[in-house]
Structure formats: C-alpha cells, structure tokens
Chains A and B, each alone.
Chain A
Amino acid sequence: MAMLNGCEFPDDLLYFVERTQMTWVRLEGDELRVGLTDPAQTRAGKILHVRIKAAGTARERGKPIATVESGKWAGPVMAPVSGVVVEPNPEVEKDPGLLNTDPYGKGWIVRLKPTQPAEVAELLRKEGALAKFREILERDNIHCLRCQA
C-alpha cells in the first residue's frame, strides 16, 4: 500500500487519472470493478447522493458511469475504459457514505465488462499512477481524510 498526503493507494489496483477523474480499477476475470480513490472521495467531501447507470448501459471511455453529490461538489465518475455496466453497487446506492468510509472495499461503484481490451492496458499502475497522483495532490493541496462510518 502506497501513501501520499495521507491518501492510500493499494498496490494491486489500476488507476484512471484524467482531468478531474481519480478512479481505481480492479481486474476480476473478464470484468472490472471501479470505484473512487481516496483523494477523490476526500475532495468530494461527505457524499450524500449517487446515481449509477443501470446494468446493460454501454459507455465509452471518459463518459459518465455515475454522478456523485456532496453538497460542496457535484460531478461525474467517468468510465475508465469503454464497456457495459454489469452491476451498479446496490449498497452504495442505499448508503452513499460507503464511498467515503470504504472507498476500496464496500464503496465500489460499478462492475464493468470492457469492450476495448487495449484501453485496459493503458490504465496506470504503481509508480506511473503515483507520479500523477503526486502532481494532483500537490496542485490541489489534498490531504486525505476518512469520514467515520
């Protein structure tokens, strides 16, 4: 587990870091699990609402798969790769606070079936990801905090 400014970055994940997007991706067979990273949930603040695209929705890379609201931040969660939504996380839809309290565990957002495998290879990992996160954390002065469950 790497740490930057108090933010956790598990070593076994891939990362999508583009413009305002900071999401993680876990490979699970021929599917992916996607969620917000620690700095993404910190920047959003206590998340109050989440809307996730329904199962079966096809998304191109960079198009929203969910929207997140915290009262101080509202924005899209972009698809890290092109794919089809297999399952939105029903627990997060019921309790959006899981995005803050357990971003890499129960707070996953969606399971996705990729349709462009080459895009998966373009996701960042380890040092490549950390270099980009370091730049953003310094630029936006983000220090991670976890809301209590």
Chain B
Amino acid sequence: MSATGAGGTPVDPEGKRILMIMTTGPEDPDKTYAPFYTAALMAAMEIDTTMYFLMHAPELLRRGAAEKVPLKKGGNLKMFIDMARENGVKFLACAESCRDLCEIAEGDLIEGVKLVGSATLADLALEADSVISF
C-alpha cells in the first residue's frame, strides 16, 4: 500500500489541497461524522484540508452543540471535530449562513473557526486540487 492509490497508480498526496463543503447540520446526525473523519485522515496524509460550513452546517460548530449530536457507533460528534482540528484541518464558516440561517455570532463558535464570505468559497474552490461536497 505504500504510496499506492486505490487504482494501483502511485500517488503523492503531500501538498495537495482539498476543499470539503459541508451543508448538513445537527438535523441529520448520521451525515455529520464521516466528513470530519475523512478530513482528519486527509490532513494526516499532509493534504492541505479545509472544511467550509454553510447553510445549517455552522450549527455543528456552535459551542456545546457537537456534544449533543449522538452517533450510532456511540459517543458524540465532538471527538471527530477535535480529531480533525488536532490533525490540522482548517474550519471556515459562511458568515451569511451564520447570521441569517443559524443566528450564530462569531463568539458563539468553537475556537479556531474563521468567518468568511461567499467569495472566499469561490477562491478556495478554484485553488483546490479537488472539491468534495457533503
């Protein structure tokens, strides 16, 4: 498996950029954990990994919210968010979604989340080697 992708071709993920767009919030707990897990793994592979949260997804980043998102495998979402952050995943939240849909002030978000506008999403998508949407 050393440096070999699923297709059998050599891959070197180091230094690549992946943008992950997250639109699901706490209303559907089953769809919340895999994006954080995958992002954590990608960051561990030295891929420059950014998660962009919009629509109801910023709700997951409200202080104390992840602890209330139960997972079928046991535990709650917080451990996966912590794991992604420990591995170096960058979290960006859509300022408009936070203000108009989620009604979250910047101070209500967990540490390390940056509020950005929609134009930033365009920049990130154009600069990324790959964009994944959840």
Q: Which residues of B have CB within 8 Å of A67?
A: 41, 44-45
Nearest CB in chain A: distance from B27 CB, A:
23
Using an 8 Å CB-CB cutoff, how does the interface string of B71-113 with A read, 1 for contact, 0 for none? Answer: 0010100010001001100000000000000000000000000
- The CA-CA distance from A63 to B131 in the complex, in Å, is 25
Known A72-B73, A75-B40, A88-B2; contact A51-B45, beta-carbon cutoff 8 A: yes
By a CB distance below 8 angstroms, the chain B residues around A63 are 46
| Minimum distance in angstroms from A65 CB to a CB of chain B | 11
Proximity string of chain A (47-61) to chain B, C-beta cutoff 8 Å, 1 when within and 0 when not: 001111111000000
Query: Are B86's CB and A51's CB within 8 A?
Result: no
Asked if B1 is at the interface of the complex by the 8 Å CB criterion, the answer is yes
Cβ B46 vs Cβ A64 within 8 A: yes
By size class, the interface of chain B is 10 to 19
Instruction: List CB contacts (< 8 Å) of A20-78 with chain B.
Output: 20, 49-55, 63-64, 67, 69, 71-76
Binding site for B on A (CB under 8 A): 19-20, 49-55, 63-64, 67, 69, 71-76, 88, 93
A93-B86 in contact (CB<8A): no
A56 to B1, CA, bound (A): 15
Q: Report B12-38 CB contacts with A as 1/0, cut-off 8 Å.
A: 000000000000000000000000011
Whether the pair B40, A51 counts as a contact (CB closer than 8 A) is no
Q: How far is the CA of A145 from the CA of B58 in the complex (A)?
A: 36
**Residue among B2, B41, B46 with the highest chain A CB neighbour number at 10 A:** B2
Query: What residues of A have a CB within 8 angstroms of the CB of B122 in the complex?
Result: none
Q: Does B3 contact A (CB under 8 A)?
A: yes
Query: A51–B1 Cα gap in the complex (Å)?
Result: 6
For A19, A54, A67, A93, the residue with the greatest tally of chain B CB atoms inside 10 Å of its CB is: A67
Q: Taking each of B40, B44, B79, which has the highest tally of chain A beta carbons within 10 Å of its own beta carbon?
A: B44
Most buried by B among A50, A54, A73, A74: A74
Task: Identify which of B1, B38, B40, B73 gathers the most chain A CB atoms within 10 Å of its CB.
Answer: B1
Whether B2 lies near A76 (C-beta < 8 A) is no
> Apart from A71-B73, A74-B83, what are 6 other A-B pairs with CB-CB below 8 Å?
A49-B1, A51-B2, A64-B44, A74-B87, A75-B44, A76-B46
Chain B residues with CB under 8 Å of A74's CB are: 37-38, 40-41, 44, 83, 87
Contact A75 B2 (CB under 8 A): no
A53 pairs with B2, CB closer than 8 A: yes
- Which residues of B sit under 8 angstroms from A53, Cβ to Cβ? 2-3
28 contacts between A and B (CB under 8 A): A19-B86, A20-B86, A49-B1, A50-B1, A51-B45, A52-B2, A54-B2, A54-B3, A55-B2, A63-B46, A64-B44, A64-B46, A67-B45, A69-B41, A71-B73, A72-B73, A72-B75, A74-B37, A74-B38, A74-B44, A75-B40, A75-B86, A75-B87, A76-B45, A76-B46, A88-B2, A93-B1, A93-B2
